[in-house]
Amino acid sequence: MIELENVGYNYGGGELLTNVSVKLAPGSFHFLTGPSGAGKTTLLKLCYGALTPTSGRVRAFNMDVQGLDRDQMAHLRRRVGVVHQDCRFLDHLPVIENIALPLIVSGKDLGGEEANLRELLNWVGLSSRADALPPELSGGERQRAALARSVILSPDVIIADEPTGNVDWEMSQRLLQLLVELNRMGKTILVATHDMALIRAAKNQVQARVLRISSKQLHLAGADL
């Protein structure tokens, strides 16, 4: 699905990542962990094309990401669902329209997707908040809304950056549950987190691999941690 080959990234003030190679196979579940500032978000951005590596190659769906023009990049974004650390929404539109935004911008007919949309809202437990505006949501509700938005186009890969960063344990369990369910449906999942308890909790439910960034390199943390 997504493949990094000897990728390095340099912010201008020295190397942040060097010689990173990783392959996200279809249907796999990966955690990405490491201390703050180690480059977790950078690595994720390299995976979905928001950053271009300073060395090495990134391939997504057998396409060279560096070679894509802006429109092809937009099409790539539709195949990769991203849940950002700070989930951004269009604050003037209600939650349901924000979740449907990927459908709207890709020109899909909303009428035919109405049932799916309701089902998805129900799945993330936001049915009663459908008409609320994003600023009125709690941290956990925002994360769930962002997750729902990232999967509405049924992408093959879902990348989540600290999805449980701002929520309590119960809510992070619930988010993990949603990610695990997506993985069981065959989606490739990559989650950046520094929450080891979350990773341990996931171990009981899914075959997850843990990637750790330390001293600018990516290591596989044990076969199955």
Q: Provide the binding-site residues for another protein, judged by CB under 8 A.
A: 50-51, 70-71, 74-78, 82, 84, 88-93, 97, 101-102, 104-106, 110, 149, 153
- Locate tokens 């949309």: which residue? 117
In the complex, what is the shortest distance from the CB of residue 7 to another protein, in angstroms, rounded to a whole number? 17
In the complex, what is the shortest distance from the CB of residue 69 to another protein, in angstroms, rounded to a whole number? 10
Nearest to 28 by CA among 193, 210, 187: 187
In the complex, what is the shortest distance from the CB of residue 113 to another protein, in angstroms, rounded to a whole number? 12
In the complex, what is the shortest distance from the CB of residue 107 to another protein, in angstroms, rounded to a whole number? 8
Of 98 and 183, nearer to another protein (C-beta) is 98
Of 93 and 221, nearer to another protein (C-beta) is 93
Of 7 and 76, nearer to another protein (C-beta) is 76
**Measured distance CA(184)–CA(84) in Å, rounded:** 22
Nearest to 178 by CA among 161, 208, 158, 156: 158
Of 91 and 114, nearer to another protein (C-beta) is 91
Of 38 and 100, nearer to another protein (C-beta) is 100
Rg (CA), the chain: 17
User: How many Cβ atoms from other residues are within 10 Å of residue 127's Cβ?
Assistant: 13
Of 23 and 75, nearer to another protein (C-beta) is 75
The 3 state secondary structure assigned to 104-121 is HHCCCCHHHHHHHHHHHH
In the complex, what is the shortest distance from the CB of residue 191 to another protein, in angstroms, rounded to a whole number? 18
**Measured distance CA(50)–CA(74) in Å, rounded:** 11
Sign of the CA dihedral 163, 164, 167, 173? Answer: positive
In the complex, what is the shortest distance from the CB of residue 88 to another protein, in angstroms, rounded to a whole number? 5
Residue 4 Ramachandran class (φ > 0 left, ψ -120 to 50 alpha, else beta): beta
